Amino acid sequence: MRQLLFQVAYAGTAYHGFQVQKNALSVAEVFQDAVEQVFGRREDIVGCSRTDTGVHANRYYIGCKTDHTIPAKQAVRALNFYLPQDIAVLDAAEVPLSFHPRYHAQKKRYLYRIWCSPVQNPFLLRYAYWYHHSVDLPAMQRAAEHMLGTHDFAAFCSAGCDVKDTVRRMDEITLTQDGALLTFSVTGNGFLYHMVRIMVGTLLFVSEGKIAPDEIPAILHSGNRRRAGKTAPAEGLFLDEVFYQEKGGLPYVK
């Protein structure tokens, strides 16, 4: 028995998230279909994170334990032959059987892209939130600074989140604008259900003057979801990277 770790990119528009669903198509189901074609059996796979319907991933990690002897690099080419165009295996490596793509992650980075214009960009359709207005970037940046560090992010978690510990640490938050395209980037040790999308929605409320930048600490302290902003749509969100201990490029845990 060995474990292969695959680095994967996917456009999430056609899928109901990564994890297998009973009555809806998921990235995991399609990936397992390809694995079955290549390995000759439907191997179990483990993803590094949950992603919601319509959410994309630039670098997502999938572990697969198998008795098959196919070399990792050859598996990349073989899987891509069977995968649809909106899912691609970027790289692969053999990792210890004890490695867990989710539990060994040290932190994650998400990107959220917003097209700030009264005119839609057809090339960003399904890959950025079309926000019909300009934004107050300095106000959003001041508000975002209050989200840095370790806080209880219960106010930034949608109903249905079943975790008991809602404390998370945000290591880096940036907002950069290139013309009409605004990119929100956040790196932290973990994220709650819809947390990034609520952070973005809250910053847009700040831009609109509905929330003052200095209100963010009080919102965090309250733990009240109703005090934060809206949940931004899924299409602008990308899981950009998952950080592990590294050896030779791909994640590796001794």
Q: Mind telling me the catalytic residues? A: 52
Alpha-carbon span 120 to 136, nearest angstrom: 19
Alpha-carbon span 48 to 94, nearest angstrom: 16
Alpha-carbon span 188 to 155, nearest angstrom: 17
- β-pairing verdict for 149-152 and 2-10: unpaired
Alpha-carbon span 123 to 117, nearest angstrom: 14
Neighbouring-strand partners of residue 182:
114, 177
* Alpha carbon separation from 178 to 8, 56, 83, 115, 205 (Å, rounded): 27, 21, 33, 10, 21
Q: Read off the tokens for 75.
A: 């598996």
Residue listed under structure tokens 């370790």: 150
